[in-house]
A and B are shown apart, each in its own frame.
Chain A
Amino acid sequence: MISKQEIIEQLKTIVKPYVQNQESFDALTEETDFINDLKINSANLVDVILDIEEKYNIIIDNESMEKMINVKSAMEIVAIKLAEK
């Protein structure tokens, strides 16, 4: 099974191209907010979601997508979807 630390590292790689606040990215924790902290453009949040789907070969349904506003919920959704596989 994939560890929490691995997921967080992989998520960092995924969000990196869309981040507009480098300082906040360098200090990224589970509490980091994609829009308020990393300043990811809300239209690019779709790309983050599609990249996560492709990376883990999972489908993020609409209900899960609604919660994708910070690192913590992204980690939880990835973990749940991976467990369902």
Chain B
Amino acid sequence: MIGNDIVDLALAKKESNWQRNRFLDKIFTENEQLLIANAINPEIMVWNLWTRKEAAYKIYNRETGIRGYIPLQLDCWYESENLGTVSCNGFTYHTQTQISNESVYTIAVAKKQYFSHIKKIELETKITKINGVPFVKDIANLITRPVSITHHGHFWEGIMLVD
């Protein structure tokens, strides 16, 4: 299973005041808050960690069927600006994050080897939902492939897991 999440930094600036009192306490663990406090650019770190949690939550939700607002249970282990894992109730997901001046984008996978089996999909791709989980149907092979889509502000990204 795969998950992705993007944040449009200009829109996030308008929509969210992460410096609001108690905002960080509600969604980031103590360790994560330390990473934010010590970051050269704390705002980018907020969205870096946040997109990791969101991308990982998509997998957790799809694999377990559990829905909830659980940012504190999605615990980020920060290996580098671009790599890390997110753990949640015994599950561990691997993340890859790309940062540009305009956006922060994270892809999460249930197994590390999936990173080399991810293909971008286009906005026009026909997506089918099975029990609320999005898939692409490969008609030639009659196979369903898990997909994940994310959009925020100016940005849209879709990915699919291939063999």
Residues of A that sit less than 8 Å from B by CB: 41-47, 49-50, 53, 62, 65-69
26 A-B residue pairings within 8 Å (CB atoms): A42-B54, A42-B69, A43-B16, A43-B50, A44-B15, A44-B16, A46-B23, A46-B26, A46-B27, A46-B71, A47-B16, A47-B17, A47-B20, A49-B26, A50-B20, A50-B22, A53-B22, A62-B72, A65-B26, A65-B72, A66-B68, A67-B69, A68-B69, A69-B67, A69-B68, A69-B69
Residue in B12, B69, B152 whose beta carbon sits within 8 Å of that of A66 in the complex = B69
Which residues on A sit within 8 Å (CB–CB) of B26? Answer: 46, 49-50, 65
- Asked if B39 lies at the interface with its beta carbon under 8 angstroms from chain A, I say no
Our count of residue pairs bridging A and B at CB distance below 8 angstroms stands at 42
Cβ of B70 within 8 Å of any chain A Cβ, yes or no, is yes
Give CA–CA (A49, B72) in the complex, Å. 14
Query: What B residues does A50 contact at CB under 8 A?
Result: 20-23, 26
Flag B1-33 by CB within 8 Å of A: 1 or 0 each.
000000100001001110011110011000000
Interface size grouping (class) on chain B: 20 to 34
Instruction: Beyond the given A47-B23, A49-B26, A69-B67, please list 12 additional residue pairs across the A-B interface where CB-CB is below 8 A.
Output: A43-B7, A43-B16, A46-B71, A47-B17, A50-B20, A50-B22, A50-B26, A65-B69, A65-B72, A66-B69, A67-B69, A69-B69
